[in-house]
Structure formats: C-alpha cells, structure tokens
C-alpha cells in the first residue's frame, strides 16, 4: 500500500460528448488509473459487457443498494438509475491509485458534497450541432432518447461552472492530453501541500 491516497477524478459532460471514448484512450496511456464501474438499470447495448462497461442490474437491486448505503451517489437519468459503488472507490483510493468516475451532473454534485477534495472535469463539445451528430452517429439511441438526452445536455451545460476544469473534446488526442495534464498538475499540487506540511511539522520544537 502507498503512503498517499489516490485522487478521485470526476468526468462529466453531456451524453455523446465523448466521455467514454476519451477515458478509454487516457487509460490506454496510463494503466495505473482505475475506472469505477457503475451500476445501471439501463439495458445493455450491443457489445457492452456486464462487469466491464457496467454492472447491469434490476431496478429493485439498485434500490436495495441505495437503501443499504452501498452507493457514493446515484441519479435517475432519462428513465434509468445509475450509481457508483462505494466499496471499490474507497478501497482503490486507499491503495494509492487514482480513480475516475464517468457520471452525469446530478451524481457529480452528490460526490462534491462527500468528496470535496475530488477533481471535477467537465467535457465540453465543440458545438451543440457536433454533439447531436455524435450521439446520432453512435447509433445506440432511438430518436426519442436522442431528444431526451439532448434536453438533459442543455441542463448539464448550465452546471458547468460547478466544475474545476472544462476540457473541449474537439479531438480525442487533444482532449486526452489536456486531461493528462490535469492529472499531473493535481499530483504536483498535493506533493507541494505535503512538503509544506512536513516542513511545518519539522519546525515545531517538541
């Protein structure tokens, strides 16, 4: 186990902006990062695997997890529940590994209350037109769901000021390198705070 705890990074942004794509590319470059797999009541999409993309659950199972305090946060988003299991996040941070949550805004605001030291990153589309194209071209949503997700997108963008960083996903490589810089910079900040703390302790006469 490392001395220092890992850092919790929260990645949000409207549906279709590219959170999953950018996060996977970031993780390919840095295998030390840990991804928190969420629970959801949403049916799996073609190619998605239980225990890899999500833990796919029945609604009553997610409600039970909520009742038993097993989730750090949860939200109802476009007709389905999504939530972050607490045990994995807490244990992995304790082991000194950085953990990424990829979650929508209502859930992120709950995390902010319980983990104010978390680093909140909002992924932003180059334009609303491009966002719409990405979500349509992904081909996973019905026309109705695309519309509902775009309505949510407007509300999510209104919450962007609550985040520490805004990263534009114009190009996957650029977005990944901006997020990598944030990860490095947050580690440097904490190292500086730790060294100031050690210096202060060292100067106290016992």
Ligand X SMILES: Nc1ncnc2c1ncn2[C@@H]1O[C@H](COP(=O)(O)OP(=O)(O)OP(=O)(O)O)[C@@H](O)[C@H]1O
Instruction: Enumerate residues 8-27 that contact ligand X by CB under 6 A.
Output: 13, 15-21
Region of residue 198 (left: phi > 0; alpha: psi -120 to 50; beta: else):
alpha
Of 23, 73, 120, 163, the one binding ligand LQESDW3C (CB under 6 A) is: 73
Q: Which of residues 144-203 bind ligand X (CB under 6 A)?
A: 169, 171-172
Question: How many amino acids of this chain bind ligand X (CB under 6 A)?
Answer: 14
Q: How far apart are CA 23 and CA 34, in angstroms?
A: 11
Footprint of ligand X on residues 131-150 (CB under 6 A)?
Answer: 134, 137-138
Instruction: Using CB under 6 A, pick the residue from 6, 8, 9, 19 that binds ligand LQESDW3C.
Output: 19
CA 111 to the chain's CA centroid: 10
Q: Work out what residue 73 binds among ligand X, ligand LQESDW3C, none; the CB cut-off runs from 5 to 8 Å by kind.
A: ligand LQESDW3C
> Which residues, other chains included, contact 113 with Cβ-Cβ below 8 Å and sequence gap of 6+?
none
Quick one: tokens of 80?
A: 């389905």
Among 107, 115, 118, 175, binds ligand LQESDW3C (CB under 6 A): 107
Residue 199: CB atoms within 10 Å = 9
């Amino acid at each position: 186990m490392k001395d220092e705890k890992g850092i919790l990074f929260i990645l949000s942004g409207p549906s279709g902006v590219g959170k999953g794509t950018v996060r996977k590319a970031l993780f390919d470059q840095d295998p030390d990062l840990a991804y928190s797999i969420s629970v959801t009541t949403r049916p799996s999409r073609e190619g998605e695997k239980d225990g890899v993309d999500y833990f796919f659950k029945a609604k009553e199972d997610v409600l039970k997890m909520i009742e038993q305090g097993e989730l750090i946060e949860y939200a109802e988003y476009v007709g389905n529940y999504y939530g972050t299991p607490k045990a994995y996040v807490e244990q992995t941070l304790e082991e000194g590994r950085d953990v990424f949550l990829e979650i929508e805004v209502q859930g992120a605001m709950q995390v902010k209350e319980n983990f104010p030291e978390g680093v909140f990153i909002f992924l932003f589309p180059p334009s609303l037109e491009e966002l719409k194209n990405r979500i349509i071209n992904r081909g996973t949503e019905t026309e109705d769901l695309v519309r509902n997700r775009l309505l949510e997108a407007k509300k999510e963008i209104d919450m962007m000021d609550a985040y520490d960083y805004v990263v534009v996903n114009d190009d996957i490589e650029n977005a990944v390198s901006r997020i990598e810089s944030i990860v490095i910079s947050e580690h440097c900040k904490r190292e500086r705070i730790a060294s100031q703390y050690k210096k202060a302790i060292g100067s106290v006469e016992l």
